[in-house]
Amino acid sequence: MAPKAVHFGAGNIGRGFVACFLHNSGYDVIFADVVDPLIEKINSTPEYHVIEVGTEGTTRNTITNYRAINSKTHLDELVEEIRTADIVTCSVGPNILKFIAPVIAQGIERRSNDNTPLHVIACENAIGATDTLAAHIKANTPPERHDDHHMRARYANSAIDRIVPAQDPNAGLDVTLEKFFEWVVDKTPFEDIGIPPIDGIQWVDNLQPYIERKLFTVNTSHATAAYHGYYRSKRTVYDALQDKDILAEVRGAVMETKTLLVSKHNIDDTAQAAYVEKIIKRIGNPHLEDAVERVGRAPLRKLSRKERFIGPAAELAENDMPCKFLLDAIEMAFRFQDVENDEESKELSKIMSENSPEDVVAKVCGIQTTEKLYPQLVEVVKRVQDDSRDD
C-alpha cells in the first residue's frame, strides 16, 4: 500500500511543486481545499502535468494517484484521512495556517500513540511557518493531551524556493514553473521516528541559514524588482529587469543582504555572490510571465517585521551597515497601494491615509522607536505620504 500525504492548498504551488515531489516519491496525495470548482476538476481529471521551463529546455511530469476533499463540507472525511496519513503538508499562505489547524488537530487527536507520529511540514514563504502551524494546532488540542502530543505528530520547518508564475487560464490543472528548486527541511524533529522518503528534499540539521538565505535573496530580489517595476509601469519582472536602473536597485538590495548573511551565518562570500547572480538570472527568466502585480501582492505582509525587507534592514542598521537599497525597495512597497484584486494594497492605502508616519512604522513594520532603522523608516513613510497629498 502506497504511503499517503494530505496536502492543504490545491493551488499552483501545491499541485506543481509539493504534490509533484510527493507523487514522484510514491505517495498518494489527498488535496484539501475550499474552492468547489477546483475540487471538482481535480476529482474528475485522472492526471495533470507539471511543465518545468528553463533556458536548457522543457520537462513534462505526469501526476496521477490523487484526489481532493472539500475541507468545509467534508470535514469528517478529511479528519479520517489525516488520522491515517503519513505526512501532512500545506501551501495555503501564512495567514491561512490558523484556519487549517483545527481539522489537522482533530485528525491528530484520533491517531494512536502506538503508531508512527504524523510528519507535518508547512511549505510557506515565511520563517518558522511549521512552528506557527504547530502552535495553532496545539491551541486546538485539549490541554491534557499536550504532554504526549509528540507521540502523535512531529513538526519540521522548511524553506522552499521555486518560482511559480501566474498560469494560463486555459491550462486546466497543468502547472508551468521554473526548473530550479530548493526544498530544505529540518531533519531533527524526525530523526528518532524516521525521515520521510521524499525525493528532492534536502534534509539539514540547522535550517536558519537556508531560510534567511532564501528569504533575503530570492524573495527580496523578486519583490524589489516587482515594486520598482510597478512604480515605473513595467508589466512583468522580466520587463523590470531590462531597465538598468531597476536592475541596479535589485542588485544593490541583495548585495546588502549578502553582507548580512555572510557575517551572520558564516557563509562564504564568493559563494553567496554567485548565488545572488544566479537568483537575479532566475527571477528574470523570460519564459516565466511573472506580472509585477502578482509578485508584489500582499504588501502588508511583505513589509512586516520578520519579512524580506524590514528583517534584514533592521539587522543591518543595528550593526551600522548600509541598507540604502533596501530602504528604496521599502519605499516602493509603501507606494504599492490600491492595486486591483489585492486587498492588502487597499488596506495599506487606508493605513497610510489615516495614520502618522510614526504610527505607520509601528503598525506595519513592527519597528520600535529604540531601533536604529526607526527614523529612516519614518522618513520613507513621510515621503510617500507627502507625495500622495501632492497628487
Q: Which set of grid coordinates corresponds to residue 267?
A: 557563509
Beta bridge partners of 182: 161
3 state SS of 266: coil
Catalytic residues: 214
DSSP annotation string for 331-387: HHHHT--S-TT-HHHHHHHHHHHHS-HHHHIIIII---TTSTTHHHHHHHHHHHHHH
The whole-angstrom separation of Cα 12 and Cα 271 is: 31
Angle at 258 between CA 254 and CA 260, to 5 degrees: 120
CB distance 213 to 275 below 8 Å: yes
Amino acid sitting at position 252: G
The whole-angstrom separation of Cα 300 and Cα 342 is: 11
Cα dihedral 294, 296, 298, 304, rounded to 10, equals: 150
Please name the residue that has the C-alpha cell 499517503. 4
